[in-house]
């Protein structure tokens, strides 16, 4: 993972831009939120998240355990909590929507909108989510390094946060290219023409909503796929990533890792080890993946010199 420091003004502008985008969706700071997101594993992180969730008036539910029983409990919790909006990974919100449709459940009456993030939102995803929850979906696009990059307005256009960022591609406007961002306000860790690894298309068109912020026509990659477990559960791959992130908090045991699902009951892990890597770390990787995903998984770990990035 990339680690960087942000100064207070950069953080303030980032959060203000996010709230402005939420205002376009008819929600604002303090509105109750049902958040389909990660659940921190460590005790200190878990308590910190609970305090933040309490202050932010949001209820966090796991995006990783998407069984029918859990989804039923999430639905009951949501009816009781009465959120103004749902926020979360596209795949997790979409799976929740499929569950509601599959079981012919009534929409959550308190909802004003859905905000999706972190993954590519397809037309099919949008149609399924809006059909299940009976409210409009507003997409957001961003990354941890710079925060909000673009937010969707009521007309369906993704407006770039150009008062905080310069967004370019390595291609002509109207053509897909790698997105390149420059953060105008983080002076502690300046990011200048930073390639974030996503591909998108910029547009020179103007939106009928009247806002003059430039448009991001579409984002093409990278969409996460759900992992399919031997018992039929679908698990978000971030659940596997957390295992490696928790180990990296202890020490720098490896520089890169890759998780490949080769069959419904097998994972192959490629690790680029550092000098601190031991057999004990390997044992922890295997055990923790089985705890987080499924006890019956066959987990193979390969130590490799390098991991090539995919196209």
- Report pLDDT for 311: 45
Q: To the nearest whole percent, how much of the chain has pLDDT over 70?
A: 96
Read off the pLDDT of each residue in 95-123 and give the average, rounded to a whole number. Answer: 92
Average per-residue pLDDT in the chain? 91
Closest CA to 243 of 283, 274, 196, 276: 283
User: pLDDT tens digit string along 138-159?
Assistant: 999 999 899 999 999 999 999 9
Selected residue with higher pLDDT from 260 and 245: 260
Of 121-125, 128-132, 144-148, 214-218, give the lowest mean pLDDT range: 121-125
Closest CA to 133 of 237, 34, 238: 34
The residues, ordered by sequence, that sit 6+ positions from 124 with a Cβ below 8 Å of its Cβ are: none
Reading the block at residue 299, the tokens are 């987990």
Asked whether the predicted pLDDT for residue 197 surpasses 90, the reply is no
CA atoms of 16 and 31, how far apart (whole Å): 15
Give this prediction's pTM.
0.73
Sheet strands (E) in 144-193? 147-152, 158-160, 165-169, 177-183
Reading the block at residue 259, the tokens are 């998780």
Contact of 129 with 85, CB cutoff 8 Å: no
CA atoms of 277 and 275, how far apart (whole Å): 6
Selected residue with higher pLDDT from 278 and 66: 278
Asked whether the predicted pLDDT for residue 118 surpasses 90, the reply is no
- Report pLDDT for 309: 60
Element at 254 (helix H, strand E): strand 254-263
Name the most confidently modeled range: 35-39, 223-227, 285-289: 285-289
* Tally of CB atoms within 10 A around 25: 24
CA atoms of 259 and 151, how far apart (whole Å): 31
């Amino acid at each position: 993972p990339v680690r960087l420091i942000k100064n207070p003004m950069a953080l303030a502008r980032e959060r203000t831009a996010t709230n402005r985008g939420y205002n376009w969706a008819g929600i604002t700071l303090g509105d109750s939120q049902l958040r389909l997101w990660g659940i921190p594993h460590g005790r200190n992180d878990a308590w910190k998240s609970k305090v933040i969730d309490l202050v932010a008036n949001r209820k966090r539910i796991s995006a990783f355990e998407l069984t029918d029983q859990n989804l039923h409990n999430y639905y009951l919790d949501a009816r009781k909590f009465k959120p103004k909006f749902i926020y979360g990974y596209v795949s997790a919100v979409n799976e929740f929507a499929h569950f509601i449709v599959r079981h012919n459940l009534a929409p959550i009456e308190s909802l004003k909108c859905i905000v999706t993030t972190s993954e590519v939102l397809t037309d099919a995803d949008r149609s399924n989510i809006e059909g299940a929850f009976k409210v409009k979906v507003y997409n957001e696009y961003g990354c941890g390094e710079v925060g909000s990059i673009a937010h969707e307005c009521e007309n369906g256009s993704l407006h770039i946060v150009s008062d905080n960022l310069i967004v370019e591609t390595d291609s002509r406007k109207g053509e897909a290219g790698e997105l390149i961002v420059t953060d105008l306000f983080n002076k502690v860790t300046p990011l200048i023409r930073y390639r974030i690894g996503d591909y998108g298309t910029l547009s020179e068109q103007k939106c009928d909503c009247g806002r003059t912020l430039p448009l991001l026509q579409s984002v093409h990659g990278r969409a996460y796929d759900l992992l399919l477990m031997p018992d039929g559960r679908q698990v978000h791959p971030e659940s596997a990533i957390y295992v490696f992130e928790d180990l990296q908090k202890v020490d720098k045991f490896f520089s890169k890792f890759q998780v490949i699902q080769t069959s419904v009951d097998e994972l192959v892990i490629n690790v680029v080890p550092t000098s601190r890597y031991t057999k004990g770390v390997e044992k922890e990787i295997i055990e923790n993946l089985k705890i987080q995903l499924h006890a019956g998984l066959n987990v193979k770990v390969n130590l490799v010199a390098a991991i090539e990035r995919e196209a």
